[in-house]
Amino acid sequence: MAVPMKNGGMKPTKVIYYVVLSGITTGIGAFFRKHSRRNIARNYCNMLGFFSRSNDIYCIWRAYPRIKQIIPWQNDSNRKCFRIYNRCICNEYIKDLLKYKKRFDKIIVMIIKIKIKEKNMKNIETNKKQIDKYTIILILIMLIGIITRIIGLGKIPIGINVDEAGTMYDAYTIANYGTDRFGNTYPVYMINYGGGQSALYTYLAAIFIKLFGFSLTTIRLPALLFSILYLIFGFLLTKDFKNKKIAILVELLIVICPWHFMQSRWALDCNLLSSMLLVSIYTFTRALKLKSKKKYFLAGIFLGITLYTYALSYIIIPILLLILITYMLYAKKIKTSDIIVLGIPLGLLAIPLILSLLVNYGVIEEIRLPFMSILKMWVFRNGEINFSNILHNIVMLIKSMFAFDINDYNSFPIFGTLYYISIPFTIFGFIDSIKNVKKDIKEKSLSLDIVMLANFLSVCVCNILVEAGINRINAIYISLIYYTALGIIYVSENRAKVFKFIIGVYIMCYITFLSYYFGIYGKENTNLSFNNDAVEVVKYIEENEKFDGKKINFRLYAIQPYIYTLIGNETSPQEFMNTVVIQRGAVLSYSRYIFYNSEIKDDTIYVIQNDEKSKNILMENGFKVEEYNQYIDILYK
């Protein structure tokens, strides 16, 4: 019933109030017709519709028993609201009820919230089994990925890679003496064999040596742990933009990926780039979504640390940030202050590396401080950037993305980096993603497709300038894996049997790959970059008293053989530097070890490998032969 004025009319403010309230209740009715269960919606919407048509607030009292039935009012907060509500509707006149306008509005909002919560609870209950199913699948995939990467970590690949050996010994000297093998205090960029090596892996390995001792397994732990980070953040990044189902598919593809499996099992500095860049991208996108200065600062730290994983990150990270920040400014999703917060830690962490570049370009002198060394490399590899070989580099880039490179320890030619069956899925997914990017740019929205395209382009541009290899493009694989997942979804959309068949084929590929890796590849590694016996034969000689006091002529087939002897005898960097003879970047001798020397002396032990000619000559000169194994002989007097 209407509230009459003295002159028989109605106040305009009350008319407006009734009209607005009528619209709200009609909207609520439409909402619950769509989203609630049929019986509840019918009762509730009938009440609201009656209220709306009559313009009579008092009539809601008639529907009070129905509301009381369909809304869970047993908890304290709901009971309090109902008391207020009851106080309102028990007044006979509208003018008294209007005194409770704010309270009544609060009740309307409360009803909506309760209904939404009620609906969500029902969804949770109905989807509980499905959620549990996805969680179990995710845990199983993670466990399979971690366990298969841990098995035989210190034994396969067989032997020690030459770059792995350099990292191993430098980590040992950093952990125990605070210097690299050449006596430099905490280098920003390691000299290694003269051409340089990124330092992050070495310092991480030094920490693990302090914790667990000096062994090959210990040295490979950072690679394993960062590969697990890759598994975690690959899932989180995808889930942050897509649904959990797609995120689990991406996780599965990472776990069974030959490239990711192989790079997680040996110590190479540049292999940390893929994981650190993925962590940085995830943190940066979270900062963009949450508009959090703390997240921007944290992203800047992670990006700065990523610069210490691999020198090519000096090119990849600026291009990636240029693409993303330019688009975010266009979409008005980032402020200048955010860019400054991001840039401060990134810039500070980059300063030592900028100084290192200036030192190696001859602009400034070496910097040697008690806590840091910025050194000039023996060979500065800036000549690797070449604009004249772009066509060749593009071919190598495509080959490295899907197939293999010159090193069989990065991928097996028979499997490829992602399995050859992934190629069509990756292409379909890439095309689908480009379509999504066009829509997102029009809508000025941030999406995973834009992030992945930015990452893909930054790595491609970098590796068009240098000759690509699997190690050099390792940051690109998260984009390729994402595109492969999109391609699988595109092909199997609304075809559950097709999807299951594709996943089954991938699982069979992974089982076959593991059989090959732990079987054929795990029994013998013929790659010259990995030496299987040098460290052990040095330990044997050092522990055998009959070889004491004699020089050792080391003639094993190995790249940089001296590094394996340093690992085997755990020589201090001081002793190494005091006795080493270096000529044109090659270590000719140190302490009692001699390399690349064919002279025959009676006070020298000769360690030879598959060299019958040298063995016969030494035997003719009265040397005794001791067979260390079927390949290596030790000759002495």
Once rounded to an integer, what is the mean pLDDT over residues 169-197? 94
pLDDT beyond 50 at 64? no
SS3 label, residue 445: coil
At 612, list the tokens.
């019958």
Strand residue runs (E) in 202-253: none
The whole-chain average pLDDT of the chain stands at 83
Question: Does residue 213 come out as left (phi exceeding 0), alpha (psi in the -120 to 50 range) or beta?
Answer: left
pLDDT beyond 70 at 402? yes
Q: Give residue 558's pLDDT band: very low, low, confident or very high (50, 70, 90).
A: confident
Structure confidence at residue 351 (pLDDT): 97
Share above pLDDT 90 across residues of the chain, in percent, rounded to a whole number: 63
Structure confidence at residue 70 (pLDDT): 44
Structure confidence at residue 5 (pLDDT): 41
Once rounded to an integer, what is the mean pLDDT over residues 521-539? 84
Once rounded to an integer, what is the mean pLDDT over residues 250-256? 97
Once rounded to an integer, what is the mean pLDDT over residues 325-339? 95
pLDDT beyond 70 at 508? yes
Q: Give residue 561's pLDDT band: very low, low, confident or very high (50, 70, 90).
A: very high
- The span from the CA of 432 to the CA of 506, in Å, is 21
Structure confidence at residue 309 (pLDDT): 96
> Which of the residue ranges 57-61, 248-252, 329-333, 603-607 would you say has the lowest mean pLDDT?
57-61
* Long-range Cβ pairs for the range 630-633 (8 Å, 24+): 631/533, 632/533, 632/537, 632/556, 632/607, 632/608, 633/607, 633/608, 633/609
**Higher pLDDT among residues 412 and 95, named by residue:** 412
Once rounded to an integer, what is the mean pLDDT over residues 506-530? 88
Once rounded to an integer, what is the mean pLDDT over residues 610-623? 90
Share above pLDDT 70 across residues of the chain, in percent, rounded to a whole number: 79
Structure confidence at residue 116 (pLDDT): 57
| CA distances from residue 610 to 552, 616, 632 in whole angstroms, order as listed | 17, 12, 7
Structure confidence at residue 55 (pLDDT): 38
Once rounded to an integer, what is the mean pLDDT over residues 212-225? 95
Once rounded to an integer, what is the mean pLDDT over residues 373-386? 82
Structure confidence at residue 511 (pLDDT): 96
Domain ranges of the chain: 12-123, 151-523, 533-636
413: burial class by Cβ within 10 Å (0-12, 13-18, 19+)? exposed
* Long-range Cβ pairs for the range 334-343 (8 Å, 24+): 334/288, 337/293, 338/287, 338/291, 338/293, 338/296, 341/293, 341/296, 341/297, 341/300, 342/284, 342/287, 342/296, 342/297, 342/299, 342/300, 342/303, 343/300
Tens digits of per-residue pLDDT, 281-296?
999 999 999 999 999 9
> Which of the residue ranges 335-349, 491-505, 515-529, 606-620 would you say has the lowest mean pLDDT?
515-529
Contact call for residues 201 and 471 (beta carbons, < 8 A): no
Structure confidence at residue 7 (pLDDT): 43
Structure confidence at residue 23 (pLDDT): 52
Contact call for residues 178 and 172 (beta carbons, < 8 A): no
> Which of the residue ranges 116-130, 196-210, 466-480 would you say has the lowest mean pLDDT?
116-130
Q: Give residue 31's pLDDT band: very low, low, confident or very high (50, 70, 90).
A: very low
Instruction: Give the list of residues 6+ apart from residue 12 with CB closer than 8 angstroms, or none.
Output: none
SS3 label, residue 608: strand
Contact call for residues 448 and 482 (beta carbons, < 8 A): yes
Contact call for residues 115 and 32 (beta carbons, < 8 A): yes
pLDDT beyond 60 at 103? no
Structure confidence at residue 426 (pLDDT): 97
Total-model pTM: 0.79
What's the CA angle centered on 36, arms 87 and 129, to 5 degrees?
A: 120
Tens digits of per-residue pLDDT, 417-456?
999 999 999 999 999 999 999 999 999 999 999 999 999 9
At 633, list the tokens.
């002989």
